[in-house]
Amino acid sequence: MAVIIGTRASVNDYFEHPAINQSTIKMLTGGLDSMMAQLAKRKKDKEEGKPEPDYFTLGSAVDLILTGEDGEYEESYYVSNMDKVPSEVERQVVELVFNDVADTTKPFSNWASEIVNAADTVGWQRNWKDETRYNKLVDKCSDYFQEMCDAGDRKIISQETNQRILNIVNSLRTNERTAKYFDRDLQEQAGAIDFYYQFPIFFTYPIDGVDVECKGLLDMCIVHKDENGNVTQVEPIDLKTMSGNTLDFQGNLKKHRYDMQAAWYSYALQQHFNIDESQVALFKFIVESTTSYGTPVVYQLSRETVVMGKHGLPAMFIGTAPNRQIKYKEEPGFISLLTDYVKYEADGFTTDKILVNNPGIISLDWTNGIG
């Protein structure tokens, strides 16, 4: 038995690797333009130094404490000493200045032109005079600039955010439904079972006779072995945080297509451990709320849901209305989206497949959309 935790270096290598992940192909559920718009926004936000949303920070930090190496949270996050941190857009201004100036040992007030230029970039109070904007930002953000200097490579979070993170972690570690998944001392005594956290997996999937390079980063994986060390079963598990009631997780499942994520990781584990599909247990999601923590839930997806994540569902007829038929639209699985992605990549991501498949007139229906 062993508890195996992916190192920060291995996780960074995973993100740098050019293989395709399920998050990217899921962008194609809205079509090619939707995917390209999302990728462009990510690039723009990164170039402008836009801070990640608070909900993303909460989820990432909880993941890091529960599935990362000991001490990694403290190495990655700096808890602010300020009673109130600047707003998101004001922090964006500070981060642009911080990344632009040559000498961060000088105070924030020293960088007047850089401050005004950064305010222009993010659109902060454009109707104010430059002098007014400079004075207001210096008043609001000088302490935050100094904290950026103190934090180094760590991400700055407020004391309130830090406390919320710790409360969520405590809930997951102590609730009777979820505690066993995060008790590493207990896991070390578990016999012929290995527990993987932050598990990067690289695999291939065949598309039109070509093995496409794919990847996945699994939060947790429990590997059962026989007396000879052969793998008998693998349990894939992912940790999710959400706002609201954890009993409403089905809505998040459908909205974010977590069925596809489950199918993707299940296939990856099957290939990685060279086991049969039947030896991969039904996918589990451990879910806790960021707004009303204290009732975490462990969800196990049905076999049909995981199969849908892989193969999708065809358009289905559901009834009639005057002068028309009504049907559910097709729901793609990861196979069809990966196939589309490979074709788009070969074409330079230029033309939506609907236009390729319909060079003439495209049928459009009031209820069912494009036919």
- Does an H or E element contain 337, and which? helix 334-346
> Is the entire prediction scored with pTM above 0.85?
yes
Q: What are the pLDDT digits (tens) for 155-170?
A: 999 899 999 999 999 9
CATH class of 1-49+168-359: alpha beta
Low-confidence ranges of the chain (pLDDT < 70): 1, 49, 315-328, 367-368, 371
Radius of gyration of the chain (CA): 24
As a dihedral over the C-alpha atoms of residue 166, residue 167, residue 169, residue 170, rounded to 10 degrees, the angle is 110
- CA–CA separation, 269 vs 279, rounded Å? 10
- CA–CA separation, 199 vs 14, rounded Å? 10
Domain boundaries in the chain?
Answer: 1-49+168-359, 50-166
Q: Could you tell me the two tokens for 82?
A: 């300020």
Return the SS3 of 63. helix
Q: Residue 108's closest CA among 125, 84, 123, 86?
A: 86
* Beta-carbon count within 10 A of 261 CB: 24
Return mean pLDDT, the chain.
91
Q: What is the pLDDT of residue 192?
A: 87
What distances in angstroms separate CA 261 from CA 228, 305, 308, 354, one per listed residue? 31, 11, 11, 25
Q: Could you tell me the two tokens for 53?
A: 């949303």
pLDDT > 90 in the chain, percent: 74
Q: What is the pLDDT of residue 356?
A: 83
